[in-house]
Amino acid sequence: MTLALTHSDILSVLDRQEVRKAVEQAHAGLAMGECANPAPSAIALPESGIALPMATGGRGMVAVKLLCDVPANRDRGLPTQRSTIMVSSAITGEALAILDGRAITAIRTAAASAVATDHLARRSPSMLGMIGAGNLAVEHAFAIAAVRDITRIVVWSRSTETIGSFRAATATLGISVESAESPEDVLAVSDIVCTLTPSRRPIVRGVSFRPGQHVNAVGAPPRADHREIDGIGMQRAKVVVDSFPTAMAKSGGVLLAISEGFITEDDARTELGDVIVGKAAGRMSDTDITLYESVGIGLQDLATAELVIERATAQGIGTSINLSG
């Protein structure tokens, strides 16, 4: 039997702290060769869209995620990215579950940024900066606050209404939220910065980076011509990626900085898992600028999906389907 889980089913069983721990373990497993995450391939869709099937390996399960990135959906009032995850047994090949990818993608993305922050940011109490204030920013506020003592949050968005929604959604954190006039103003006061915009051109200039800052570059879609951070920013920072093969296939931030001569491939080889297990250095001093380039990998989805399937099965949530019938 195959378990089908909707967006609301998944939200009812997801535990953010458990997801963060699972994502950290998954990256460590990737570094140690216990998990596999091939570079994604892309399929062209009409209206300049792309679909990314990402196959991964985990503990007894494998997953394929179909992520459809469709920019034309903005004009339809629909999400630009939609995804579906299928999990199968690595032993028998049986389809174990089909899951809507929206909540899993958002929460595991924020969890990965929190893991990167925990291993790369300074330990002192911090001011958190958000460039972008949508739902992913909300998830990042909760995730980062779980690994660092956040004293204030400063947010920039093109929409004051979005900042108001962000403030309301994060009220339970008990952390004051201030608005900024520009991305530069966020960088000027923040110790940890999360960039969360679907930008094609750089929205963050590396000349504004300050010594000791940690940056999570998250928002740009997995396209070689999209980036939030300019080449100078990539050059000034110690860059850590989720997966080197994935970054070399889909990270505009990395690929464009290489093509412009600001960094080389070797500058982008450090993976988050290698830092976690001690195979590579992350932050070396309090004055280092560290940058986590988040493209997103299927292994993060699988680690989260395994938790969801386990909890949903235990609680009798979801719909079982006999695909072989």
Shared domain check, 122 and 84: no
Shared domain check, 306 and 193: no
Instruction: With respect to residue 109, please indicate whether it lies within any of the assigned structural domains.
Output: no
Shared domain check, 283 and 166: yes
The CATH number that applies at residue 94 is: 3.30.1780.10
Pairing of strands 192-195, 126-131: parallel
220 φ/ψ sector (left φ>0, alpha ψ -120 to 50, else beta): beta
Shared domain check, 259 and 199: yes
| Alpha-helical runs (H) found in 153-278 | 160-169, 183-189, 231-236, 244-250, 252-259, 272-277
Full domain range(s) for residue 185: 115-296
* Cβ contacts of 207 within 8 Å, gap of 6 or more: 232
Shared domain check, 168 and 258: yes
Number of domains in the chain: 2
Instruction: With respect to residue 26, please indicate whether it lies within any of the assigned structural domains.
Output: yes
Shared domain check, 285 and 309: no
Shared domain check, 141 and 39: no
Which letter does DSSP use for residue 172 in this model?
G
Which letter does DSSP use for residue 271 in this model?
B
Report the predicted TM-score, pTM, of the whole model to 2 decimal places: 0.92
Burial 243-280 (b: 16+ CB within 10 A, else e): bbebbbbbbbbbbbbbeeebbeeebbebbbbbbbeeee
The pLDDT tens digits along the chain (325 residues) read 999 999 999 999 999 999 999 999 999 999 999 888 887 765 565 555 544 444 455 568 888 888 887 878 888 888 777 889 999 888 888 899 999 999 999 999 999 999 999 999 999 999 999 999 999 999 999 999 999 999 999 999 999 899 999 999 999 999 999 999 999 999 999 999 999 999 889 999 999 999 999 999 999 988 899 999 999 999 999 999 999 999 999 999 999 999 999 999 999 999 999 999 999 999 999 999 999 999 999 999 999 999 999 999 999 999 999 988 7
Instruction: With respect to residue 110, please indicate whether it lies within any of the assigned structural domains.
Output: no
